[in-house]
Structure 1
Amino acid sequence: MRIAVIGATGMVGSRIVTEAADRDHHVIAASRTALHQPRSGVTSTQADASNAIDLAPVLEPADAAVLTVRVVPGEEDAFITVIEAVLAASASADIPLFVVGGAGPLHSPKDPDRLVVDDPAFVPARWRTTAAASVAQLTACREHSNENWTYLSPPAVLEPGVRTGSYRRGTTTLLTDHEGRSHISAEDLAVAVIDELESPGTDRHITIASEPPRRP
């Protein structure tokens, strides 16, 4: 499979590039700055994710696209411009789009009528604006004419770590372990992304989390 990864140099994007290449997929690694030393099976290219015309030659040879661009505090409007441009470009290329978004639009496991963005147990006040941008991002997907997309909401905590190769998969409710924690490594998130591309499901909005530790 030829996979275009938009935001390939970021924390998540770089790990998706590695995971895809390790599984013998060809990766088109797109970012504002090209990779210095792309590995075998990876083609590095510069592209402006907010410009559908700029993205066209990146997505044209691909079988699927993954968007991993993260919201920058204070630049939430630009974040929405990016998703709209990528939706348009992937529609023109007639390929599925996999969006690695945010946890904000998930339902709280403590209150199914409340979104995570509104639950301070998972989103402190200082991060609420950033989380709200992910809610707007998913809304932009739902309102766009392009319907060939899947939106992945990570757990509350996503950070570099160890690749275990295992995870739990859910849909629209935040996953937590028996201690109330919601987390996953960027490495295991990359595993889940490539799993979904290789064996697409029917859910439009999904989430994942680390396997909970076994009770003694």
Structure 2
Amino acid sequence: MKIAVIGATGMVGSRVVAEARARGHEVAAGSRSGSRQDGWFDVDVADTAAVARVIEDNDITVLAVPPVRTGDGDVTAIRRSHQALIAAAPQGRFIVVGGAGALQLPDGSLLKDSAEFPAEYKAESDVFGDILEDYRASQGLAWTMLAPAPMIAPGERTGAYKTETDIPAGETVSAEDFAVALVDEAESGAHRGTRFTVAN
């Protein structure tokens, strides 16, 4: 399978590249800075035409690009990039790495709106909640969104995880097992046109 990963230098993207290559897939790794290594390419998620070409040229594309959380970065820019991609309507499968903030609590409210939710992630979570609704309202796209557990960090690759759709599947997930779940989805296509979430 030909898999492209946009955002391949990040915590999630780098592990997806490693997991997919370990399974024998042909992986193209993309980032804004590119790389001198074979199999890497330059791409900016804001370049809609370039991203659409990547999606159409591969069996599946992973979009693992988070908003900017600090400094002068505009966290809403990532939503505009996804809206432009939806409008471009590329014909190919892709998986968007989302956030945990738009998952539901038992009372039906969203995790991001709870008093305990970390303030530094609130703006990012609002944006990814909006992006999820943009994809849900779209037509004719082969999209999937995968959200992590509320806590994701580098850790152990166990190969074991559990899934849910609207509620957290658990409190934590290692970045390595998140990548396992993502590549499993790339291979199976079990959650096309929907959001799901994983935890250890």
Is the TM-score greater than 0.5?
yes
CA shift for structure 1 position 144: 2.9
Counterpart among 120, 126, 132 of residue 126 in structure 1: 120
Q: Which moved more, 1:6-15 or 1:70-79?
A: 70-79
Q: Is the 8 A contact 2:52 2:85 kept in 1?
A: no
Aligned position for 1:207: 197
Counterparts of 1:19 and 1:154, CA distance in 2? 17
Asked if structure 1 preserves the Cα contact closer than 8 Å seen for 2:55 and 2:94, the reply is: no
1:12-35 deviations in Å (ceiling 9; x for gaps): 000000000000011111110113
Asked if 1:194 is matched to 2:183, the reply is yes
**Aligned ranges for residues 1-216 of structure 1 at < 5 Å?**
1-38=1-38, 43-73=39-69, 74-88=73-87, 91-92=89-90, 94-108=91-105, 111-121=106-116, 123-176=117-170, 182-202=171-191, 204-210=194-200
Q: Corresponding residue for 1:213?
A: none
| Aligned residues of 1:28 and 1:58 also touching (Cα < 8 A) | no
Structure 1: 5+ residue stretches without partners? 177-181, 211-216
CA contact (8 A) 2:7 2:65 kept: yes
Q: CA deviation at 1:115?
A: 0.7
TM-superposed CA distance for 1:62, in Å, is 0.3
- Name the CA shift for 1:126/1:61 in 2 (closer, same or farther; >3 Å): closer
* Mapped contact 2:5–2:63 kept (Cα < 8 A): yes
Give the TM-score taking structure 2 as reference length.
Answer: 0.90
| Structure 2 counterpart of 1:179 | none
- Structure 1 residue 88, shift from structure 2 partner: 4.8
Q: Whole-Å Cα distance in 2 between the matches of residues 147 and 57 of structure 1?
A: 14
Identity %: 39
- Structure 2, unaligned stretches of length 5 or more? none
Q: 1:184 to 1:29 in 2, by over 3 A?
A: same
Q: Distance in 2 between matches of 1:116 and 1:158?
A: 15
Give the drift of 1:193. 0.3
- CA deviations 1:90-140 (Å, max 9, x no partner) are x32x211111100111101xx33211111233x223321121111112112
Output the TM-score relative to the length of structure 1: 0.84
Matches of 2:148 and 2:199 in 1, distance apart? 7
Change (3 A) 1:139 1:189: same
Shift of residue 10 of structure 1? 0.8
CA RMSD of aligned residues (A): 1.7
